[in-house]
Structure 1
């Protein structure tokens, strides 16, 4: 591996090839440092070829199996990739979120963080950016573009993006924790309205973490009914070319194909990968990378 992946010429950072994969860091406006992996395909540069900015799913990270695999597979298909770790309220976070660590992060924190990674890529001279996300990350990148209408985004890729309904959310919580979500959410909402939104409450069952500690503000942000959590409902607010990918065996967002069947937009392409579950492992990962690469390089 090269000692450095950049050369400074007249104050401009030029990323060089062949294939380089480098850990990078960004200091957020809130003072936290976040980590990413910039992986350049052989013979490619940011200035001439741009990059795919790839966001992971719930409480996950940029080296989890699907993200690491797609980073490598897209490099093989001559695409540069910047995969990132969302901070989830922690400094230099790596790996899966430890449920023993108190939660104070919010779903919508990702929007500000994506914006700052976009600024970082722009500062590095990226000629174009394809914004991509998996699962909850797919919803967060769709939410970002729906709200920001960022002209620097050329295309959007949503990989098994999060779907949502109030019934689905309450049923899932009851199934996982054998508890009714409604009174817990009501209590947390009352705490927020009473000025106690930033005080830790434990034990609380939250996302994938049983009997953890979480702030009411965080709990409400993730669980308060909001149609924006349902990714297909955001598509009519997005005007850039968008690829939505589903797996035929995906039980996590099993309602995605039915919802997409009801959507007809010239800028939206929907495809289903056979024999793929939510994580697109093995040959399904190859098929996913083929679909993404074809969409990215296509006119």
Structure 2
């Protein structure tokens, strides 16, 4: 085959792949949810779909989500990368800290469920959830409450939590006492606004008291290893040896003895598993999907 023929073949292959990718939308509580739907002609939709969930205040076009979606689709899997709305109509891109916050951590569970029902209405079955960082925690939380809806779950650097570490992190980042802010939020009506409040990655934000408490009031379910330790859903977990965001994940995972869980610590990977680490993780995901 000549070099020109090779280039033409590559172009046609790429065009064929792109032709099966589209943004889809879903009406939900007066706003529009959106997601990127990529289908493979290697199998029917009824054979299953992988739903990808991004991390904190992020989006479905961030590099890690896009890389995993494209590689998994190229491996013959249908994929749906969703944008969590975070209370914003038809949201795209990173959440703007200037936008008042009225979203909740647990809103993701409801939106994931809406997309699963949408997929089933399209004829899909055998749902696999894949979440990164906070999205990994939200996936595990959803699966723990709706195990009948999920065939498998893949958790990439899922969030960990302890009340003490949360307190220390808030004090370090904002030089403020988290317990004092929680107390103020508890004494405020749920839908009332807290002004000039430091919230997640957004300093001096406007946030409802209910939203602040939903993210910060102590709850062991924020700690992903606690959620999955007794799961019966086939579960694949990844940590990165150079991850400084969920540093305690390897220690916690090594304490879990559950035959339904496979765990890999990827040497050299940071929180985002880019480039060759994406290839390594996808290879392990494909092996896991083929055996479960």
Same fold (TM over 0.5): yes
After superposition, residues 25-174 of structure 1 pair within 5 angstroms as: 25-28=25-28, 30-47=29-46, 49-149=47-147, 151-174=148-171
Secondary structure in 2 aligned to 1:225? coil
Structure 2 matches for 1:183-222, cutoff 5 A? 183-191=180-188, 196-222=189-215
Mapping 1:235-250, distance limit 5 Å: 235-250=228-243
Encode CA deviations 1:207-229: one digit per residue, 9 max, x unaligned: 00011110010000100011000
- Specify the SS of the correspondent of 1:239: coil
Q: Which structure 2 residue ranges, 5 or more long, are not aligned?
A: 1-15
Partner of 1:178: 175
Work out whether residues 19 and 43 of structure 1, in 8 Å CA contact, stay in contact via their aligned partners in 2. Answer: no
The answer to which structure has the higher helix fraction is: 2
**Separation (CA, whole Å) in 2 of partners of 1:42 and 1:273:** 31
Measured in 2, the distance between the counterparts of 1:177 and 1:126 equals 45
| Matches of 2:266 and 2:20, distance apart in 1 | 29
Gaps of 5+ in 1: 1-15
Q: Is the 8 A contact 1:54 1:131 kept in 2?
A: yes
CA RMSD of aligned residues (A): 1.5
The alpha-carbon deviation at position 17 of structure 1 amounts to: 8.0
Q: How many residues align?
A: 277
Q: Deviations over 1:158-187 (max 9, x none)?
A: 110000001110111111111111111111
**C-alpha distance in structure 1 between counterparts of 2:17 and 2:245, whole Å:** 38
TM-score, normalised by the number of residues in structure 2: 0.92
In the aligned structure 2, how far is the partner of 1:274 from the partner of 1:236? 23
1:19 is displaced (CA, Å) by: 5.8
Whether the 8 Å CA contact 1:57–1:135 is kept in 2: the answer is yes
**Alpha-carbon separation, structure 2, partners of 1:180 and 1:235:** 30
Encode CA deviations 1:115-158: one digit per residue, 9 max, x unaligned. 11110010010131111100000000100011122x23110111
Distance 2:76 2:266 in 1: 21
Question: Which 4+ runs in 1 deviate beyond 2 A?
Answer: 16-19, 41-45
Determine whether 1:24 maps to 2:24.
yes
- TM-score where L is the length of structure 1: 0.90
